[in-house]
Amino acid sequence: MLKYWTPEEKEKLEKISSFEEAADLAVNILSRMNEEGKEVVQLCGPMSTGGAGNLALNMERFQKAVDKAAEKGLLVFDQVPFQNTIIRLCELREDNPEYNWEILDIFYKRIFESGHVKRALFLPGWEKSVGASWERDLVTKLGLVVEEYPLEWLN
């Protein structure tokens, strides 16, 4: 899904120094995606908590789910390219909390409040994920369409 990224945005991703900057970049990309005239969908599911129990396995599963949804014709906002930036920003924090709520309160909240994402698909096991549970509450409050990710797409 990097086709919606400019070369400058790909380069900028490596230099982002705050969740606000990351959110700005994400909203710019979403804005460009919205120009397609097609509903933008975002997947939600375990990344750093829940799921397979570790980030690498969760991210592999997540990327496969994004790719499959796109293959099925959905216009998916792929947040996976932001993952290394998110990890780097979390590691920069001196207090190093168990869970960095800025990921949700700044980055993902801005994405969902932007009005560009219209539907959220939740991967199995979302309810055991701190972030995905928070996302489910937020997107429900915002009135986005909430659906379960089709199990048959996971095979």
CATH of the domain at 108: 3.40.50.10400
Using an 8 Å Cβ cutoff, are 143 and 113 in contact?
Answer: no
pTM: 0.91
Number of domains in the chain: 1
Residue by residue, DSSP assigns 69-111 as: HHHTT-EEE--GGGHHHHHHHHHH-SS--SS-THIIIIIIHHH
pLDDT in tens, 82-140: 998 998 898 877 666 677 889 999 999 999 999 999 999 999 999 999 899 999 999 99
Structural domain including 29 reads 2-154
pLDDT in tens, 15-48: 999 999 999 999 999 999 999 999 999 999 988 7
User: For residues 147 and 98, what is the distance between their CA atoms, to the nearest angstrom?
Assistant: 29
